[in-house]
Amino acid sequence: MAMLKPIPGINSTPTTDMAVLKPVTVATPGSASDINFSRFIADLPWWALPALAAILMMWPMAAYAQSTYTMTDATNALIKWLPFLVLQGFVFNILISITTMALGTVAGVVLGLMQISPNRLISQTAWLITQTFRNSPWLVLLFIVMLAFPFKIEIGSLTIQIPDWVKAVFGLSLPIMANISEVVRGAIASVPSGQWEAAESLAYSRQQTVWRIILPQCFKRMIPPWMNWYAILTMATPLVSLLGVEEIVTLSRQAMAAENGRPELLVPFYGFCLVIFFAYCYPIARWTIALERKYTVKL
């Protein structure tokens, strides 16, 4: 057998005091010892993870056992506050979503039509506005509107107060406007070019073509994505609680504070918020899917 070439510092006397690279033991590819975190998990005994899960589950149970305020008391407190949360909280969420969607839809349709304008300046400006608000975080837009808008407007001796919910509606309508603009532009682009050519052959003006030929074909195509954005907007309305608007999340916090802020109240109250939003938005989502299947473009 051929002799291995001596390597100073490993299998022969080192000739210098400089450090040398030690040989690396390569594990079988894919084995647990070849990666760091998986090595730690693989070295644990089989009972470690079940034991950790049991400890995590026993912790809140022990806390509840030491408290005289049970989950039954928390549920009774929720039932007592239900009319207040629904009639003055969730109904206001719905009003905010409807007002915002109406404002965003009107502005979005105008912006979408501007995007298809033959005037390059108008179309590029509309595209820039659309992309800016479409790709901006909703919460950031809400804070900008809250800080940028005045709390009141004084015109001579007339003082007009601007409530927080009005600022919230305007802040949420900006991303809705941008997304509806894209819905309108996409629906118009989906109309076959032959429709434009046929209208041109009949000597229709561009305005007549858009309003009498193109847009009537776009309405059914725009309904499903429009409903989808309404559901998304409704689920985003709790963001306005950060602006101090008294909707269901804000009122839930106030109700829990009135019940001495018991930690046992968190799950029932916020769980109810989750359930009521789901109960409102899920049928809309299912209806949206049904309409999308009904109005899909069949080639």
Three-state secondary structure call for residue 162: coil
For residue 16, what are the CA distances in angstroms to 5, 7, 9, 126, 244?
17, 12, 8, 71, 72
Per-range mean pLDDT, top range of 57-66, 146-155, 268-277: 268-277
Rg of the chain on CA atoms, in Å: 31
Instruction: Report the pLDDT value the prediction gives residue 129, as an integer from 0 to 100.
Output: 93
Q: How far apart are CA 66 and CA 69, in angstroms?
A: 9
Is 80 part of any domain?
yes
More confident residue, 223 or 9: 223
pLDDT at 128 over 60: yes
Q: Which residue has the tokens 């107060």?
A: 161
Domain hosting 111: range is: 70-150+160-295
Is 60 part of any domain?
no
Is 139 part of any domain?
yes
How many structural domains comprise the chain? 1
The pLDDT of 219-242, averaged and rounded, is: 87
The pLDDT of 215-236, averaged and rounded, is: 87
CATH of the domain at 187: 1.10.3720.10
pTM of the predicted protein model: 0.72
Instruction: Report the pLDDT value the prediction gives residue 30, as an integer from 0 to 100.
Output: 40
Phi, psi for 158 (deg, rounded to 5): -95, 130
Q: Which residue has the tokens 């005045």?
A: 150
Is 102 part of any domain?
yes
Instruction: Report the pLDDT value the prediction gives residue 15, as an integer from 0 to 100.
Output: 64
Q: How far apart are CA 111 and CA 220, in angstroms?
A: 19
Instruction: Report the pLDDT value the prediction gives residue 93, as an integer from 0 to 100.
Output: 92
Give pLDDT tens digits for 257-298.
Answer: 888 877 778 888 888 888 898 888 888 888 888 877 776 655
Please report which confidence band the pLDDT of residue 33 belongs to, taking 50, 70 and 90 as the band edges.
very low
Instruction: Report the pLDDT value the prediction gives residue 16, as an integer from 0 to 100.
Output: 62
Is 55 part of any domain?
no
Tokens of 202: 């009949």
Whether 134 and 159 have beta carbons less than 8 Å apart is answered as no
Give pLDDT tens digits for 182-199.
Answer: 999 988 888 888 888 888
Is 272 part of any domain?
yes
Is 179 part of any domain?
yes
Is 208 part of any domain?
yes
Q: Which residue has the tokens 């076959």?
A: 192
Q: What percent of the chain has pLDDT over 70?
A: 75
Whether 41 and 238 have beta carbons less than 8 Å apart is answered as no
The pLDDT of 19-27, averaged and rounded, is: 49
The pLDDT of 204-232, averaged and rounded, is: 86
Please report which confidence band the pLDDT of residue 18 belongs to, taking 50, 70 and 90 as the band edges.
low
Tokens of 181: 């603009």
Phi, psi for 137 (deg, rounded to 5): -65, 135
